[in-house]
Structure 1
Amino acid sequence: MMTAPTSTPPSAQVRIIASSQSWVEGEAVRQLEAVARSPGMRLAVGLPDLHPGKGAPVGAAFASEGLLYPYLVGNDIGCGMGLWDVDLLARKAKAERWAARLDLEGPWDGDTDGFLAEHGVKASGFEMALGTVGGGNHFAEIQRVDAVHDGKTFDALGLKGERLLLLVHSGSRGLGEATLRAHVDRHGAGGLAQDSADARKYLTRHDHAVEWGRANRALVARRMLDGIGATGRRVLDVCHNSVTPLKLEGCACWLHRKGAAPWDQGPVVIPGSRGSLSYLVLPVGDGSASAYSLAHGAGRKWNRTNARERMRERFSAESLTRTSFKSHVICEDRDLLFEEAPPAYKPIDRVVTDLVEAGLVRVVATLAPVLTYKTRAHARS
């Protein structure tokens, strides 16, 4: 674990959970320190996937006292990942056939209000997007088990090495954006006193977005499973962008996760790029040093503009629809295909090793991609 160097010490403790072998961009550290100077901030933690974001770094967790900061959660409130055990043998996967027919764009043709009611979530007005993946780094990926490293935990989760899995990464779609916009229009990047009416209003909307995002992942999974003719069982679901109460060294604080997986909610999946392994891990040890948070993925190595430029020089769009695992990628947005290319991300093996060496996780299994769904071309029409 490194302590971030600074000439003007922030008011909060600043920690970076990364080894000297990991590359952490200086701008991400600068953003982390800037947030640590915010009023009421007690602790700012950068995880191994730390990288620059819009105003605040991604791959970080922040604990504040007396104030909460919606801009640290961002516009995709409730974004997270769910893992489903698929009732289909990996050897029966038909990735090429599935890639030709899977289409999750556009509104679901089922009863969205009824689906939300089944999940105990009220409608939001954004139900046209319910069951859709979204853009950016969101995806739905059919996976196979590459290797099991902790058989006891793997078996306890009811998983079978010969079966497929489905990992869904998505959030609250336009609901989170509208929630943040309502705050920014009044307060900009400012914090909210925890006992204020505006804080209570934001937290009500925030909690709704978190639950709506979880239901959205469930419907994305249902559409994916229907598309491949299979059924599935949800194994886990965690949120990466949220603000929740936290007891820190005896003080009542607010824990903001900005692209960070929870350490305190059981097993999580930490995915790499679409061309690398994902890691199913079990939190261990004492999570207080990392603000009870873990890396949520590999973390970007290049920003989107640089990735587009670099990847266009090295690869054709067609070549990026296959990976070194012989997996298929459905992404008919050419810019997104280049922006999300595997070399644009940090090595996931190093990210997870940093967490293991920090005593935060134990690897349960590695998962390899079979088919990654990003978007169809008509999503923009």
Structure 2
Amino acid sequence: MTAFYRLIASQETWIEGEALRQLEQTAALPGMRAAVGLPDLHPGKGYPIGAAFLSERIYPALVGNDIGCGMALWQTDLPTRKFKPARAAERLQGLEGPWDGDLAAWRAARDLAPTDFDTALGTIGGGNHFAELQAVETVLDATAFAGLELDSDRVLLLVHSGSRGLGEAILRGAIDSQGHQGLDPEAPPARDYLGRHDQALRWADANRRLIAERLLDALGADAERRLDVWHNLVQPVDWHGERLWLHRKGAAPADRGPVVIPGSRGSLSYLVQPSAESDLSLRSLAHGAGRKWKRGEARGRLSARQRPEDLRTTALGGQVICEDKELLYDEAPESYKGIERVIADLVEAGLCTVIATLRPVLTYKMRQSAHRQSGARKIDRRRS
């Protein structure tokens, strides 16, 4: 019996047919109770991205390979009116390489067990991951904004990354041993997977913290973390008196307070307050704009009319640090749906209200050469 499935999107929102097929197909998995596609829904490798799933069983493939991928927001002490993106860009070097601090002590302070992937801690990675310095564009809910202790005159830092190779290894191990079948939550394979999955969540959280620490250290800035949420995970939930498993595959939580939903690097991001009642969307929200073009397509579509240097300045005046040409084109704003329509769909569905809009000022993706910086100043750990 196929589970209930729903798409939350208006007729104005373009959703690829393959994404809808994947949503329906996923709803037919054994033990599946509900599948919900959000306005940023787009096709993934067999399963759609931008969706949430409620099931009696645990499906590692519905979490994916980037377990714990998510976003964190920091309030920095950098005055927006004095911030110079070009000068900051010069100081942001070598973030792709291993951190040169005392990693063992840093892990111990956060009760983080060592893994084989720890040289990647503090690195952003490829794909749609980024670290972005943002200015507050408009505040629509001053009370909620103040409640988050945000300052509209200071630069914000938004970090999007996950568990890097660790999450991929965990998924590969689960698929190699159990295939794509759902796991009985009480059986040893499920318990083993959940233990590794939870470790990857902690690793991803720590990774975002260290990315921020490295970037802020390079800029000589201090900051305090205001938000951090995971977009890819599975968790037990009490669903109206029944214990079930909620999977998010590219979906922001609607049950953990305010979240940031970013657009492309060439559009605004939205700080939103989830509604109290969100069962309609399986207690989830869109996690971004959602891809419009598949990876690898953008360069062929754009290179005749946009040179790489054209893509390093956005329509909003923001600067982009990305020295990988393929990635620069893959993540071009044109590759994504319009974030304004995605947010409008969520608001019209009664799932959230907008607190503020944030404008990208400097987006860090990747430099070609990764070299260590010397003499890094140790910053105030309290912001983590």
Instruction: Give me the TM-score of the superposition, normalised by structure 1.
Output: 0.95
Other-structure match for 2:58: 68
**Distance in structure 1 (CA, Å) of the matches to 2:87 and 2:168:** 35
- CA-based RMSD of the aligned residues comes to 1.1
Amino acid at match of 1:106: G
Say whether 1:83 aligns with 2:63: no
Other-structure match for 1:196: 187
- State how 1:166-181 maps to structure 2 within 5 Å: 166-181=157-172
Other-structure match for 2:378: none
| TM superposition shift of 1:378 | 2.4
| TM superposition shift of 1:344 | 0.5
Other-structure match for 1:357: 348
Q: Tell me if structure 2 keeps the 8 A contact 1:285–1:359.
A: no
Other-structure match for 2:210: 219
- State how 1:1-381 maps to structure 2 within 5 Å: 11-65=2-56, 67-103=57-93, 104-378=95-369
Q: Tell me if structure 2 keeps the 8 A contact 1:259–1:296.
A: yes
**Distance in structure 2 (CA, Å) of the matches to 1:188 and 1:276:** 39
Amino acid at match of 1:377: Q
| TM superposition shift of 1:248 | 2.3
- List per-residue Cα deviations over 1:86-111 (Å, max 9, x = no partner): 01110111110111231211000001
Amino acid at match of 1:74: G
| TM superposition shift of 1:69 | 0.2
| TM superposition shift of 1:338 | 0.3
Q: Tell me if structure 2 keeps the 8 A contact 1:179–1:206.
A: yes
Question: What secondary structure, in the 3-state scheme, does the structure 2 residue paired with 1:161 have?
Answer: coil
**Distance in structure 2 (CA, Å) of the matches to 1:379 and 1:358:** 45
| TM superposition shift of 1:216 | 0.3
Amino acid at match of 1:345: Y
Q: Tell me if structure 1 keeps the 8 A contact 2:296–2:326.
A: no
Q: Which runs of 5+ in 2 are unaligned?
A: 372-384
Other-structure match for 1:7: none
Amino acid at match of 2:68: G
| Percent of aligned pairs with the same amino acid | 59
**Distance in structure 1 (CA, Å) of the matches to 2:228 and 2:335:** 26
| TM superposition shift of 1:313 | 2.4
Q: Which runs of 5+ in 1 are unaligned?
A: 1-9
**Distance in structure 2 (CA, Å) of the matches to 1:21 and 1:232:** 39
| TM superposition shift of 1:379 | 5.3
Amino acid at match of 1:375: M
- List per-residue Cα deviations over 1:322-365 (Å, max 9, x = no partner): 01121110001100000000010000011011111111111000
Question: Aligned residue pairs: how many?
Answer: 370
| TM superposition shift of 1:118 | 2.0
Question: What secondary structure, in the 3-state scheme, does the structure 1 residue paired with 2:369 have?
Answer: helix
**Distance in structure 2 (CA, Å) of the matches to 1:334 and 1:100:** 19
Instruction: Give me the TM-score of the superposition, normalised by structure 2.
Output: 0.95
**Distance in structure 2 (CA, Å) of the matches to 1:293 and 1:244:** 13
